[in-house]
Amino acid sequence: MGKLFKSSDIFLIPNLITILRLVLLVPLIVSYYFDCMLYFYVLLGVVILTDFLDGFLARRLNQISDLGKLLDPIADGLALFAFSVILYVKYPDSIPLWFCVFYFCRQLLLLVLSMVFLPRTDSVYGSNIVGKWGVVFLTLGLGIYAINIQSLFSLVPFLIYIATALLFLSLLDYLRIFYILSTKK
Question: pLDDT-derived band of residue 93, with 50, 70 and 90 as boundaries?
Answer: confident
Cβ neighbours of residue 176 under 8 Å, at least 6 residues apart? none
Q: What is the pLDDT of residue 7?
A: 79
If you average pLDDT over each of 33-47, 116-130, 154-168, which comes out highest? 154-168
pLDDT band at 185 (very low <50, low <70, confident <90, very high): low
Contact 146, 32 (CB under 8 A): yes
User: Mean pLDDT, to the nearest integer, of 98-124?
Assistant: 86
What is the distance between the alpha carbons of residues 152 and 48, in angstroms, rounded to a whole number? Answer: 21
This prediction has a pTM of: 0.82
Residue 121 has pLDDT above 90, yes or no: no
Q: What is the mean pLDDT of residues 149-162?
A: 94
The mean pLDDT of 143-149, rounded to a whole number, is 88
Report the SS3 class of residue 166. Answer: helix
pLDDT band at 42 (very low <50, low <70, confident <90, very high): very high
The amino acid occupying position 43 is L
Burial 43-63 (b: 16+ CB within 10 A, else e): bbebbeebbebbbebbeeeeb
C-alpha gyration radius of the chain: 17
- Is residue 29 within 8 Å of residue 82, measured between CB atoms? yes
